[in-house]
Amino acid sequence: MSEEASKRTQEEADAPDLECQSDDSSDEGDASGDTEMDFLRSLFSRTLGLSPGEKVLDELTLDGVARYILSGKCKNIICMVGAGISTSAGIPDFRSPGTGLYANLQKYNLPYPEAIFQIDYFKKHPEPFFALARELYPGQFKPTVCHYFMRMLKDKGLLTRCYSQNIDTLERVAGLEGEDLIEAHGTFHTSHCVSFLCRKEYSMDWMQTKIFSEDIPKCDSCGSLVKPVINDKIFILGWSIPLRLKFLSSQSTFSDFPRCDLLIIMGTSLQVQPFASLVSRVSNSCPRLLINMEKTGQSEFGMGLFSFGGAMDFDSDKAYRDVAHLSTCDDGCMALAELLGWKEELEQMVKREHALIDSKDAKKKDKEASQNSKSTGAEAGKSDKTE
Ligand SMILES: [Zn+2]
């Protein structure tokens, strides 16, 4: 608390022109007022070029980032992640011809692959969605080194939040919890009845049982379809306007970024708006580390309407805060962990957690097998009442 107060005093000293305004505001509104001030201050200074960003990293390399984290000045890390962090878990891309998953979906004659996520199509033809859900169902896959690296950031009190574009819930499997996560495209974690009048919520366990019994999940109360909360209309032309505004103005999106000390962007090509525009929401002194197979986010145009001058700059003469580490997300995270002295700890965490998942899977399979043999036993001798 006192640390927060001293930070605030420091910020006010840095911006004396705003001090008299904050005197007028009531105590109650202080926290959110500060957040808004932070945001507006960084927005104006970036847009008008009032204050150039401060150079925080001593070197624009992974070593520079590691030294910054170890300096203790970096306390609020945000991770922004995309499909690239889950490829090493074996999660197939249903949009790539030639994969088993794509071939599997061919038999449903989808008008186009993205139709599978659209609610209007789903209401008429729920089967392909659930076929995909069976293939992608969380628990079929293990989180990657990269997922566990984020878990380590959380355990060490450094993770402000993870913004994920993925629907595979591997962040949750790795140990991130509700408040650690913004699942920008939705999640399998909760399901709802699709009827607007009902909207009954269902658990992940309930949905899992339905999905694997190959039943089409129907609401207990009203008989309508039940669907995991995966956002509609996200894969074409970015997001719908209401969804975009809701996401960009949400409390956490609004307050996380101005306070961020380090933004780590992993496994995303920053193509889908409004997600991509979030990289421009951090202060102009905040270092941004990209771990990806190729450089991305450099074009101002590509960053879209909400950018306000936040395109990534790794290589120009003016580059001062953006670092690109070109590798797989797992290799990049492991390299960073090594520089931080966390390598062994990370390796052990991955080993331990994977073993735990394997043993849970084995128990589940045993249970299913014994249930199956019991039920076939019961079928075979219905009149048999021994036991
Ligand atoms: Zn219902």
Average pLDDT over residues 303-325: 78
Contact assessment for residue 228 and residue 188, using Cβ atoms and an 8 Å cutoff: yes
Of 94 and 151, more confident: 151
Confidence of residue 271 (pLDDT cuts 50, 70, 90): confident
Q: Residues 242-270: what's their mean pLDDT? A: 83
Whether residues 54 and 134 share a domain: the answer is no
Among 154-163, 232-241, 324-333, 346-355, name the one with the lowest average pLDDT. Answer: 232-241
Binding residues, by number, are 83-87, 93-95, 165-168, 193, 198, 219, 222, 268-269, 292-294, 329
pLDDT at 156: 97
Decide if pLDDT at 140 tops 90: no
Has residue 34 been placed in a domain? no
| In contact, 77 and 153? CB cutoff 8 Å | yes
Whole-structure pTM value: 0.75
Domain of 347? 39-89+143-185+239-358
Burial 262-299 (b: 16+ CB within 10 A, else e): bbbbbbbbbebbbbbbbbbbbbbbbbbbbbbeeebbbe
Residue 358 has pLDDT above 70, yes or no: yes
- Per-residue confidence band for 35, with pLDDT thresholds at 50, 70 and 90: low
Integer angstrom CA distances of residue 163 from 74, 81, 167, 337: 18, 6, 12, 20
Q: What is the mean pLDDT of the chain?
A: 79
d(CA 138, CA 169): 6
Distance CA 115, CA 96 (A): 15
Give me the pLDDT at residue 307, please. Answer: 45
Question: Residue range 192-200: average pLDDT?
Answer: 90
Q: 175, 208, 230 — which closes off a domain?
A: 230
Who has greater pLDDT, 212 or 338?
338
Report yes or no on 22 lying in a domain: no
The CA distance from 202 to 99, in Å, is 31
pLDDT over 50 (residue 26): no
Count up the domains in the chain and report the number.
2
How far does the centroid of ligand 1 lie from the alpha carbon of residue 199, in Å? 6
pLDDT of residue 291: 98
pLDDT for residue 18: 28
CA distance 190 to 186: 9
Please state which of the ranges 121-130, 172-181, 215-224 shows the lowest mean pLDDT. 121-130
Whether residue 19 lies inside any domain: the answer is no
Identify whether residues 173 and 283 lie together within a single domain: yes
The binding site for Zn(2+) comprises 193, 198, 219, 222
CB-based contacts of 19: which residues, under 8 Å, 6+ apart? 12
Q: What is the pLDDT of residue 303?
A: 47
On the question of pLDDT at 180 being above 90, the answer is yes
CATH, residue 270: 3.40.50.1220
Task: List residues forming the annotated binding site for NAD(+).
Answer: 83-87, 93-95, 165-168, 268-269, 292-294, 329
Instruction: Please tell me the distance between residue 178's alpha carbon and the centre of ligand 1 in angstroms.
Output: 25
The pLDDT-based confidence of 305 (bands split at 50, 70, 90) is: very low
Q: How far is the CA of 229 from the centre of ligand 1 (A)?
A: 14
